[in-house]
Structure 1
Amino acid sequence: MTTLLGGTRPYTLNAAGIPLSAILALPEGSAPRSTILAIHGRGMRAAYWNSFIPLATSLGHAVLAVDRPGYGDSANLLPEGQGLAAQAESLHAALKEHAAGHDIGAGVFLLGHSDGGKVALHTAATDGGVPLLGLDASGVGYRYNPEALHFPSTLGGGATKLNWGPLPLYPRGTFQASRALLSPTPPRESAETLRWPAQYEDLADRVRIPVRLTFAEHEAWWDLDPAVLTAMAARLTSSPRVALEHLPAAGHNISLGHAAAAYHLRVLMFLEECLPPPGA
């Protein structure tokens, strides 16, 4: 395979016979302390996490940034895509296959954005045989902002403000460069959009790992009323720790904005808290 920057290379995960294209990045000179499964949002690709990968590997973690089922190499095999729960099953199968041949460190830490955060929560709510350390998600809430419900659930159709927030939150050239990240949203994924609140209510009490949820200051897809977010956290009754955080000067696509570095550092700080003590 072609090697990219710092031990980063294209990679293919085997999800029970479904090929999932991915980016695999390993720390240099040592075994990984953990493996981070980075799960992109709706209409994006694994490269959404490009700015996160160097920081994570510099701190000793492996990163698997995956093209979700229905995206990338699996798009032709799954032209309708998969529902969120089915995507979680596929990711569990892929993780199990990967762990059989690679050192994953202390376990797998789930990192999800937007619909990828929904898939991460589904993944955390089911047992796939690979130890999960914790979950960090941004851009995924409990109840939609009422003003967002009349927009199509895609990156187009007039939803630009919802997906990005104020344009000055992003470096010059971001929108031109981001075109390479875009991918059609599979129909099955789009069809589930309005069912998310009920799905979350069903899965939340089955999540048994620490959870951190981050909401951008200019997040427009979700209802950010404190009572709604408190209710979201309260449903995670089996999680040993739940943190709700707000990130100033950020829009929905946090990892593409000026606030990305601050957010990524906070992700990795939370991961440190989820790792077992040395010698445990």
Structure 2
Amino acid sequence: MDLENSTIFQLPSELIIQVLKNCTFQECYKVRLTCKTLKKLIEENLKYLASTEIYHIDLARRRVRAWRNFSWCDPIPFESIEYISKFFCFVNVKVLTVNKLDEELCAFLTENAQKNMLRFEQLRLFHSFSASHESICQLLLAAKCRVINFEAAESNLQPINFELEGFKKLNSLCFEMDDSIDEEFYDSILNNCQAKKFIFHSCDKIPQRFVRNMFEQWLIGSRELEAVRITTNQNFNFGDIISGLNIQNVDSSTWTMKNVKEDKATITMRRNNFHFFVAFEVNDHHIEDILYKIPFIE
């Protein structure tokens, strides 16, 4: 081969990809910009190449902040949707927080997930949102997200919403101070979605029978669960919840039980006149593993 006149395109595509595997995300991105041929080759082999790993992105209308790890925060000026778009290309994010998610932001994120390999494990909707449930589900599917957290936001979810593929395929559902979901929702959620992990924090419309139904369905093997935490400002009755169930008392606040599949659950329940708490953990699963910790910055 005449090295002086040869180009990279004379190499087999497989060899070029092997070289690019040793490049960082930023280096691959620069190579991608050089010509259409390399752009096409890189885009067709993205799953083999490096991407940017981000712990947490906090997105709002006036600012964007990205944590490369739990303690390192990069503020990004929000000059326009177009300006910040480059920060949402070829990135894997553990937690994406969106404050007041609307249709425009949702469409922007979905497009980056579909075209530019934006991926996130958990979507945290903070404060409020106006995007439709259908749009949110498209985003969840495009970004391959398996956990949604409605934090201080009313989800307004109805049983019919779990016919949407994005919600149906979630592994974890978390709600905080959400009084928009009613008893009909709680009566149907165990049957209508595939999630195995739930957090209901300060959800005061949750009925006592939901806790018992959860235990009953898990015991007979009709519903798989891994970890559930419920807190509510209601005075639930322990006796009514566990009456007649095959459950063993360990101490004043701890019980264990085993279902027909030989899975073992540890249950922690506490209450006073104003508050009820239950944690349900199966085998080696733990409540604290459901959500990543969120970095805090003033």
Question: Which one has a bigger Cα radius of gyration?
Answer: 2
The TM-score range, normalised by the shorter chain, is 0.3 to 0.5
Higher relative contact order (CA 8 A, sep 6+): 1
More helix by share: 1
Please give the TM-score of this superposition, normalised by the length of structure 2.
Answer: 0.33
